[in-house]
Amino acid sequence: MSVQRLSQLQWFGLVAGVIALAFGHLLGVGLTRAECDSGGAPWVRALLIVAAAVMVLAACASGFVIARTQNTGYEEEPPLSRIRFFAIAALVANVVFALVMTLDLVGNFNASCGQS
């Protein structure tokens, strides 16, 4: 696989998870508040499932890049070593984002709208 393709996968793994989390959170909270229910709306579930799928794809892309650059050390020439470093950071970040998304899901489904 070319360095260009590995670089593209690495950036997808690094950026896609956080974008999915941000949109999932903002739209999920907005839909929950707009519908004024306990968050059980099908739109919120569908939105968070799509965001979780994007996050899983980002983690898989990072894992693939890590596997393809396993013979690369951090002391080597910049393109491959830098790609490997960012892919490892992206994989760790996507695991943290998945935990945050789980907490967001629980929070949205247990939220009340505050109206009486």
According to the model, what pLDDT value does residue 114 have?
Answer: 59
According to the model, what pLDDT value does residue 63 have?
Answer: 96
Q: Which residues contact 76 (CB under 8 A, 6 or more apart)?
A: none
Buried b (16+ CB within 10 A) or exposed e, 35-60: eeeebebeebeebbeebbebbebbbe
CB 13 within 8 A of CB 94: yes
| 10-residue mean pLDDT series, the chain (116 residues) | 92 94 84 64 77 92 94 84 93 92 76 57
According to the model, what pLDDT value does residue 31 have?
Answer: 75
Looking at this protein, which amino acid is placed at residue 42? P
Looking at this protein, which amino acid is placed at residue 58? A
- List phi, psi (to 5°) of 50: -65, -45
